[in-house]
Amino acid sequence: MSIPGVFIAWRRLSRRTEDLSRELGLELVFIPDKPPYIRAALKTASILRRRKLKVVFVQLPQGPLLGEVVALSKFLGFSVVADVHTGFIFTTTLKERMLNSPFHRYLRSACLILVHNILEQDLIAEKTGAPKDKTIVVYDPVPAPPQRLKEPKLGIELDKAVVLPASWSPDEPIDRVAEEFLKSRALKEFTLVITGNWRRNESMYSRVVEVMRKYSAEDKVIVTGFVPDEEYWYVLKSCRAIIVLTSREYTLPHTLWEAVATRKLFLVSRTRTLETEIGSGYPCLFSQDLRDFGEAMDRCLLGESQTNAEKVAEMLEARSRQSIENLRRAIQTLL
């Protein structure tokens, strides 16, 4: 059932927003503007004023988007639903604090606040004073691979590949993964494939290349750069295992849901958030400093961990599905 509303995103469109819009039947409005977001604010106001909407979703962390939509809702009479991405509420840099902290108070005026995991729910209540009964945990929809897949020309046996889907963000110590992989016993049997547009973080890419040269292992670590979806999903569906990498708390990387979709063995950073959601007994967790990454890789790739991974994937898929149903019911109370 379609909802009479829109989902607005500024600057960068997340895959979660695309997937949630599709699941809920919301019109998606993406405005790729940059701070101070003047063009985005004018366009948003124009769209909302000329439409009779029941509900407006906003993708954070763009605080000015939340502030503008909350202000307009008081005159136009629609309900505001805020999807709170980690960077909005858990600021780690001065720039993030300056851009987002002044807008935290506007969450108290939202009719519904979507959080991505259990720990983020507590953090929002603590940081903003927004009542907990306004928040609802909504996990990412499990993504659907394209119907037509295409094998990329990587020159390796993909069933012997361990894939690190990288966004090349600062919270991903990709060079350390490469080094620990090259020191592991799994090196003899497997190849590390790192995807994503490395031009987003050229200094990290340079460090990865240095590691490859240090170990004379250019043939055991492959950096693909950006690849089209049909090739990317071919790699995920064909590989031996997927690495879910982050050093940031209060986030569940989209890579986790891709591993769920493909039912692949996944090795996961032991953040408090991921450990809470997956369970501390999952055998393929590794510490954030990666000191035990090689051990986790050897244990999981060379041991019998596939059954554990499939059970966790089934649990996460069921949670995702149920959380989206809960969201649909919550939205009905706003219409």
Tell me the domains of the chain and their CATH numbers: 5-138 (3.40.50.2000), 158-318 (3.40.50.2000)
Residuewise pLDDT in 10s, the chain (335 residues): 577 899 999 999 999 999 999 999 999 999 999 989 999 999 999 999 999 899 999 999 999 999 999 999 999 999 999 999 988 988 767 777 777 889 999 999 999 999 999 999 889 988 888 888 999 999 999 999 999 999 999 999 999 999 999 999 999 999 999 999 999 998 899 999 999 999 999 999 999 999 999 999 889 999 999 999 999 999 999 999 999 999 999 999 999 999 999 999 999 999 999 999 999 989 999 999 999 999 998 888 877 677 788 999 999 999 999 999 999 999 999 98
State the SS3 of the chain: CCCCEEEEEECCCCHHHHHHHHHHCCEEEEECCCCCCHHHHHHHHHHHHCCCCCEEEEEECCHHHHHHHHHHHHHHCCEEEEEECHHHHCCCCHHHHHHHHHHHHHHHHCCEEEECCHHHHHHHHHHHCCCHHHEEECCCCCCCCCCCCCCCCCCCCHHHEEEEECCCCCCCCHHHHHHHHHCCHHHHCCEEEEECCHHHHHHHHHHHHHHHHHCCCCCCEEEEECCCHHHHHHHHHHCCEEEECCCCCCCCCHHHHHHHHHCCEEEEECCHHHHHHHCCCCCCEECCCCCCHHHHHHHHHCCCCHHHHHHHHHHHHHHHHHHHHHHHHHHHCCC
